[in-house]
Amino acid sequence: MVRGEVKPDTNIVLITITSNDIDKIGPWPIKRSYYALLINSLSKLKVKKIGIEVFLTAKFATQTLYDNLLLNEAVKAGNVVFSSVAGGIIEKDKIFLTDSLSFPSPKLLNEKLHIGHLNYVDENGINIPIQIKSSNETVKSFSAELAGDEFYSKAPYKMELNINSSWKKFKHFSLLEFYKLVNDNSEELKNFENKRIIVGISDPQIAGNLQSIFDEQLPGLAIHAFALDNLINKSYKNNNLFLTSTILFLILLTVIIILQNKYNFTNTLKFYLITFAAFLFISFVLYEFFNIKLYYSLFALPLFVISLVDLFYYSAGEKLKLKTAIDETELLKTLLTNKEKQLVDIQNGLKHSTIEESDSLKTKIKTLKEE
């Protein structure tokens, strides 16, 4: 990224469960009573939304003992989003479909709880399906649930993530750091009001890690933090102009081919250089400042090939001209050698000729010299 990092939205705060947290309150998975206490504390701070990015599966019997406590706190808060996971997903007619949806254990106890799926597609960038449909259920993405209808409803059905900083640029606290703030009744807690909170694991040994140009390890909660930031600020990558750019680039290439035939090689070379420079500048501005992705290769590669072909034909033409000039020079040299030989022969004959023959030979010598 040429323009560097862009500061993430300050209305998003991360509470991360670190390896140090797990060492002190673990083992993993930590007791759900910690999530219940966390929701209770955050609710008192009047946060806008609370997202639990950790998938709370029902398969751990010891954990389900605290589900009712967690459920009560979530219902009381009314703004908690739990995470769900879809099985294999397929894309069909701009809709993502799945044959299985796994719900967190609190959702199984109360269907009214809000959930959001954690799925993403890592293909030519990280893409978040805004909705996934099963046979009888439609689930929004985790980030869409946290953002709210006013933000996600205008997003593309598949949102390509725009990661424009290190995930550590988000305001973040470890779980134990947050508990310490609560115990100390810190003034910093006032900054949590009206913020969207994402709670997730950052321990690289547990969290699934991707990479970005800013981070060698990008935990799952960071993916959904950037997705939330993109939705709120409409900063996701815009792929809607791919078809339009394809048509526009084809028209431009046609115009370029027509125009370049009207110039000599020097002007044509200048034309190509100016066109390349303008293309690079416009591409940079659109991508870096407006997050617009176009079909750049459809224009750049053909233009490069056309310029190479022109250079090849110019080079071939110059070589042909040079060869022709060399051939003409050799021919002139041969003719000149023959004339010089004739002149020498006549001059030698002049020494042994009669007066009449001498006059005739002198005339020939004069003619040869003039030639």
Q: What percent of the chain has pLDDT over 90?
A: 46
Which residues sit opposite 174 in a β-bridge? 16
- Across the chain, what does the average pLDDT equal? 82
Question: Does 353 have pLDDT greater than 70?
Answer: no
- Three-state secondary structure call for residue 49: strand
Tell me, what's the pLDDT at 143?
A: 97
Q: Which of 248, 254, 296 is nearest to 276 (CA)?
A: 296
Strands ordered across the beta sheet of 158-160: 121-122, 126-129, 158-160
User: Is there a contact between 351 and 336 (Cβ–Cβ < 8 Å)?
Assistant: no
Side-chain half-sphere exposure of 277, counting CA atoms within 13 A: 6
Torsion from C-alpha of 109, 111, 116, 122, nearest 10 degrees: 80
Confidence of residue 369 (pLDDT cuts 50, 70, 90): low
pLDDT in tens, 70-129: 999 999 999 999 999 998 899 999 899 999 999 998 888 888 999 999 999 988 889 999
- pLDDT, position 162: 93
Q: Which residue did the predictor score with more confidence, 49 or 213?
A: 49
Beta bridge pairs of residue 116: 83
Tell me which residue has tokens 């042994």: 352
Residue 307 DSSP class? H
Which residue, chain included where needed, has tokens 């970005």? 212
Residue 112 φ then ψ, to 5°: -80, -10
> What pLDDT sits at residue 1?
47
User: Where in the chain are the domains?
Assistant: 12-233, 238-371
Dist CA 34 CA 49 (whole Å): 18
Write out the DSSP string of 210-259.
B--SS-S-B-HHHHHHHHHHHHHHT-SBB-TTHHHHHHHHHHHHHHHHHH
Q: State which H helix or E strand residue 173 sits in.
A: strand 171-174
Lowest mean pLDDT among 10-14, 177-181, 276-280, 339-343: 339-343
Per-residue pLDDT at 213 exceeds 60? yes
Q: How far apart are the first and last CA of the chain?
A: 72
pLDDT, residue 58, reads 73
Q: What share of the chain is helix, strand, coil (3-state, %, to 5)?
A: 55, 15, 30
Q: pTM of the predicted model, to two decimals?
A: 0.73
Chain mean position to CA 72: 43
Strands 49-52 and 196-201: parallel
User: What angle separates helix 175-183 from helix 32-44, to the nearest 10 degrees?
Assistant: 50
pLDDT of the residue at 367: 65
Residue 259 pLDDT > 60, yes or no? yes
Answer whether 127's CB lies under 8 Å from 119's CB.
Answer: no
Higher pLDDT, 151 or 279: 151
What is the distance between the alpha carbons of residues 236 and 163, in angstroms, rounded to a whole number? 9
Distance from the Cα of residue 218 to its chain's centroid: 16
